[in-house]
Amino acid sequence: MQVAFTLNGMPAQLEAAEGMTLLHALRGPLGLSGPRFGCGQEACGCCYVTVDGEPRPSCALPVEAVAGRQVGTVEGLGTPEAPHPLQTAFLAEQAGQCGYCLSGILVSAAALLERNPDPDEAAVRAALEPHLCRCGAHNRMIRAVLRAAREMREGVPA
């Protein structure tokens, strides 16, 4: 079955087999590496993407469910040449250790700042609650999200 959707603003299309999740499609035929496999049970946050702007896990979502919709991944946030303020802030705060959880966390943080440009610490923690980090870099990540929010509001390059 052919499935077509918009991926990071560009048209994407693939032949989807039964049992293929959105995560399989993104990491397989679509060639991305940002969304990561962590549990396959929507329980850890590593595979988060946005679907029509809403953050959600991709590891158990059949790929056909996103036909015709807008899918966003960490690759769509920014590049080393044109980083998203969150990516700049995560580097500035050195907010990570192994980094495996970061793709999903950045996607959720970006969605948070879209709907709430001025979150307090509790709002950041709540937005990141679906995400596990085993290295213990949580506090740095919270600081990085607050820093990016501040810099986006003030229009200052992060």
Binding residues vs other proteins (CB under 8 A): 17-21, 24, 27-28, 31-41, 43-44, 46, 73-75, 78-80, 83, 87, 90-91, 94, 96-103, 106, 125-126, 128-129, 131-140, 142
* Nearer residue to other proteins within complex by CB, 51 or 75: 75
Strands (DSSP E) contained in 26-108 are 49-51, 54-56, 70-72
In the DSSP assignment, the letter for residue 65 is: G
Q: What DSSP assignment string belongs to 128-154?
A: HTT---SSS-HHHHHHHHHHHHHHHHH
Pick between residue 114 and residue 129 the one whose CB is nearest to other proteins. 129
- For residue 68, the minimal CB distance to other proteins (Å) is 21
Q: Which is nearer to other proteins, 113 or 128 (CB)?
A: 128
CB of 125 to other proteins, least distance (A): 5
158: tokens are: 């992060």
How far, CA to CA in Å, does 100 sit from each of 5, 48, 95, 143, 147? 26, 12, 12, 18, 21
Nearer to other proteins, 12 or 39 (CB): 39
CB of 25 to other proteins, least distance (A): 8
Burial of 37 (0-12, 13-18, 19+ CB in 10 A): middle
Rounded to a whole number of angstroms, the minimum distance from the CB of residue 52 to other proteins is: 20
